[in-house]
Each structure stands twice: as structure tokens, then as C-alpha cells.
Homo-oligomer: A and B are copies of this chain.
Amino acid sequence: MRRQILDRALRLFAEHGFKGTSLHDIAVEARCSKASLLYHFAGKDAILAELLTPPAESLTALSGELAVLDGDRAVEPAVTGFIGLALRFHLEVKIIFAELPDMLNHPVLAVIPQAVDQLADALAGRSQEPRARVRAQMVIGGVAVTVASDVEVEPDTMRTELVQGALRTLGRPTS
């Protein structure tokens, strides 16, 4: 039942946004009562937090791995690692980019922005130049939006093209 609730809530949040989805909507989709949702979860926020915990932890883990690599060597792992996570959690990515700004009160979600900042740092090759920061931001946005959109492409084609596209964006021709 918990699984069912989380599964349906994930789809609804991704489609209509967090604020755009009511507990009633989730209950109908999961074929249970609204009160049942609140038996399994402390509240609506708790459902979102539990949904976004796996991608948040994976992202912070990636940031940790990248932190030990210096400048140039961090770029390619950052690209492939981020794209891997984005593809794996594409629905969660859609939720995060849609309405994260308000949800930052919750401790689980608060770690996401700083992890993204560290990711941007790695993508920029530890450079503080404005031009490098812009490139990094373009990669993050491009990957996130593309993964969240419903372009009909085979998964491996999508992955390779995202990686190559990101590397070109950063001015790093494909090796």
C-alpha cells in the first residue's frame, strides 16, 4: 500500500506539481481513502520528502565523489554521473525543478541546492569565471529539462547524446 501510494504520488506530483496535487487526488489514484494516506505518512510533505530522499542522497553522494577530484579530472565524471542520476530519477527531477524553491524548509530537500552548487562547480572545472559558471548552468538545465520532457528517444541514444551534448556545451569535444 505504501509502495502504491508513493508510486501514484510520484506520477501525480510530476504531472501536476506538488501544490497542484491534493491528498484526495492521490487517494483516488491509489484506490484508498485520504485518511489512509495519513495513516502511512505523517503528512503531504512527508510523502514528498520520502520521494525525493533517494535522488537527494544519490546527488550528495555524487558531489562527495567529485569533491576529491581536482579541476579538469572532475568534469567528465560530473557529466556522466549527473546524467545517470537525471535519467534514473527523471520524474523526481521534474518535481524538483518545478517547485523546489518553496520546499527548502524541509531538511531532506535543503541539501539539494548545495549539492547542485557543488555539481556546477565540478562541471565548471572549479573555475570561478562567469563564462564557466554559465556553461555549467546550461548543462544542468539542458539535461534536466530534456530528461523531464517526453521526447521519444531510445534510452541509450538519449544517454550518449546527452553526454556528448553536455561535453560540447562545456567546450570539451567528445573523446
Contact = CB atoms under 8 A, between A and B. Distances in A.
Interface of A: 15-17, 19-20, 97-99, 101-102, 130-131, 133-135, 137-146, 149, 151-154, 157-158, 161-162, 165-166, 168-169, 171
Each complex incorporates copies of this chain amounting to 2
B20 A134 contact: no
Given A102-B16, A102-B20, A169-B165, A149 B137 contact: yes
A157 B15 CA distance: 35
18 contacts: A17-B17, A17-B98, A19-B19, A19-B20, A20-B102, A98-B98, A130-B152, A131-B157, A133-B151, A134-B151, A134-B157, A134-B162, A137-B145, A137-B151, A138-B169, A139-B142, A140-B145, A168-B168
